[in-house]
Amino acid sequence: MPPSLMVAEVYDAFLAARVPDSTARKAAEAVAVYETRLAGIERELAVLRWMVGTNVVLTLAVLGKLLHG
């Protein structure tokens, strides 16, 4: 199993707030999991935006040909 990743800034913030080390580490690891998931969603949204944009352009081109052709 790969080593757990964690967000160092979150871990440091919890330690500064006097949260016990084990709790701060677990919370920082949980944030890292969500950060990874959000990055994947952002990539998928970028692809979907490109696909919708292409579809709009092609639809407008077909409508232009039908109306003026």
pLDDT of residue 62: 97
Mean pLDDT by 10 residues, the chain (69 residues): 67 92 89 86 96 98 92
How far apart, in whole angstroms, are the C-alpha atoms of residue 42 and residue 49? 10
Report the alpha-carbon angle 26-31-32, nearest 5.
95
Domain locations in the chain as residue ranges? 8-68
Spatial distance between the Cα atoms of 58 and 49, rounded to a whole number of angstroms = 14
Q: Which residues contact 23 (CB under 8 A, 6 or more apart)?
A: 14
Q: If you write DSSP's letter for every residue of 34-57 in order, what string do you get?
A: HHHHHHHHHHHHHHHHHHHHHHHH
The pLDDT value recorded for residue 37 is 87
Copy the structure tokens of residue 44.
């998928």
